[in-house]
Amino acid sequence: MNAPNTATLKNLRHDAVAGLVVGIIALPLSIALAVAVGVPPVAGLYTAIFAGGAAAIFGGSNFNITGPTAALVPILSRVVQLHGASALPMVGLLAGLMLIAMSILKFGRLMRFMPGPVIVGFTVGIALSIAFGQLNNFLAVTGTNPSLEHFHQKLWDTVRHLRTLGIATPAIGAASLANLIGWARMPKLHRIPGPLVAVVVVTSCTWALGIDTPTLAGRYGSMPREFPTPSLAFFDAGLIFDLLPIAFAVAVLGSVESLLSAVVADGMAPSAKRHDPDRELFGQGVANLISPIMGGIPATAAIARTAAGVSNGATSRLTGVFHALTVLAATLVLGGLAGHVPLTVLAAILLVVAWNIAEVPELVRLITRAPREDLIVLISTILITLFFDLTYAIAFGVIASSVLLLRRLVQLPAAEELLPDESGRIQQVSVGLSDLIQTRPDIAFFTAQGMLSFHSVAAFEYELMGNDRNPLVLRMKDVHHIDTSGLLTLEGVIEHRQRRGGRIVLTAIQPELLLVLERFGVIDKLGRENVFEHTRCAIASIDAPDGRAAHPHAKEEVDRKAI
């Protein structure tokens, strides 16, 4: 891997300031996300420190900020419910290995083709899961069953226990929420992160007034303030097969989230340099190998923190390193104070995070304006994410989008006869060629278009087999890809025409397509005398019914233009 970019003193200062700001933003978020997963708060801080630093150094984006993210919360919290918190390091380790394998196999560019409705769908589903999953902490509802897995079960369980609701904790949560919303509406104050303000102000007031409310220390004990010791004590080979599907979901979601974050950062940054998707997957893989060894949880790039870094002047990957150092320093110095933070404050922060990642205005626009087929994929992905599993949601979304795309492609004409319209002109060709074609009504003229593939060969064959005029000129200028199904079908059309004593001529074949046809033997079966570079030369090679050539001057070029 290449060393980090060399920065000038000015750029170094910009990166240090941006890293400090992002590190301050990451502090309360890392704690809140760890609590949402169901692990001690310090695990979230260790993730921001070690996964964030490793991904910045080894990744393919100059701006991505990596750490615990809301996108992974539903998956990781389910792991904790099913296998306990001790299984999370194994998930991170397996996901890291998968990400590195995806990098080696050059999957980075493929991940960018994830359908938009699927991305929006599972993001909204994740946001809803996080928001409703924080109701118990936000309201201090007690007596609920933490082993419930699905959204509807948890929601109904919360509703059943609303009778345990007090006054103090919901009031603190509402005050925190108001603080966060109000701070977000004051652009001049954005250099100071709203979540940090909410944590400091509300925690100080709660502690000073002696208000009894659940806190981090009350649930997880005091936070350690020493540098963690690397350990592989968590490794359990017996869990590998049970955790593989979940680790795969983490790797896929992590890769999508990280590459989306890199694309957003590239669009925001003034630099013309773009990220390397395969190297970014490698960096995320390394980050997820290091994080569990150092006491962290699975991580991915965070779009909001990345955008904050770019907005505050980030110029290189050193911003991610400074972000990790900031969180480390704060953990060692201020870790003891974090135990006083009320859980409802963290829940309020996560409610705002859920609202932001759901991008509600954009969601409303898609629901009201998107094509019906995409809307079906979007809504289905949201519902499957909520009521079943994120892995199933992604799989369904991708498969459904592929089927719908195939359905649209099948409806496109694969071959079309060249006929004049109301104006008397054939629109698919030049005026001169249109006039020439119309002088030869004895010849059938067709143009093939798009991809001659398994999805289009039936329509292609139907169009050509259904025309009995002889000879037939097939213009191939607009065909840029042909697969085995297309080759076999084209070969069948040629054989059918030849068995009936007819002639078929191919013209304007793209060079790369011509090589494929030659290698498969189509050209030999057709005969090289029936392949031409230009359609007018093909016409000149075909005698008119009265024995005269339609274009005498072009006749002289036939031998020279034949392929």
**Rounded to two decimals, what is the model's pTM?**
0.70
Quick one: pLDDT at residue 552? 46
Q: Distance (Å, rounded) from C-alpha 138 to C-alpha 346?
A: 8
Residue pLDDT, tens place only, 49-73: 999 999 999 999 999 999 998 888 8
Residue pLDDT, tens place only, 446-499: 888 878 888 788 888 888 877 676 788 999 888 888 889 888 988 888 888 888
Quick one: pLDDT at residue 547? 58
Quick one: pLDDT at residue 53? 95
Nearest to 250 by CA among 35, 46, 87, 30: 87
> Three-class SS of residue 107?
coil
Q: What is the DSSP string of 391-446?
A: HHHHHHHHHHHHHHHHHHHHHS-SEEE----TTS--TTS-HHHHHHHHT-TTSEEE
Quick one: pLDDT at residue 561? 44
Please name each of the domains of the chain with its CATH number.
Answer: 9-404 (no CATH), 415-561 (3.30.750.24)
CB distance 563 to 530 below 8 Å: no
Residue pLDDT, tens place only, 363-407: 888 888 888 888 888 899 889 888 887 778 878 888 888 888 777
Query: Per-residue pLDDT for 516 more than 70?
Result: yes
Query: Per-residue pLDDT for 38 more than 80?
Result: yes
Residue pLDDT, tens place only, 328-339: 988 888 777 777
Quick one: pLDDT at residue 149? 67
Query: Per-residue pLDDT for 432 more than 90?
Result: no
User: Residue 438, class by beta-carbon neighbours within 10 Å (0-12 exposed, 13-18 middle, 19+ buried)?
Assistant: middle
Quick one: pLDDT at residue 343? 87
Average pLDDT, the chain: 84
User: How far is CA 207 from each of CA 225, 346, 420, rounded to the nearest angstrom?
Assistant: 21, 15, 83
Query: Per-residue pLDDT for 557 more than 60?
Result: no
Quick one: pLDDT at residue 49? 95
Query: Per-residue pLDDT for 191 more than 70?
Result: no
**Separation of CA 490 from chain center:** 37
Quick one: pLDDT at residue 549? 52
Quick one: pLDDT at residue 272? 64
Residue pLDDT, tens place only, 255-303: 988 988 888 788 777 776 788 999 999 999 999 999 999 999 999 998 8
216-220, 311-315, 332-336, 382-386 — which one is most confidently predicted on average? 382-386
Query: Per-residue pLDDT for 5 more than 80?
Result: no
Q: Distance (Å, rounded) from C-alpha 556 to C-alpha 554?
A: 5
Quick one: pLDDT at residue 1? 44
Q: Distance (Å, rounded) from C-alpha 362 to C-alpha 254?
A: 22
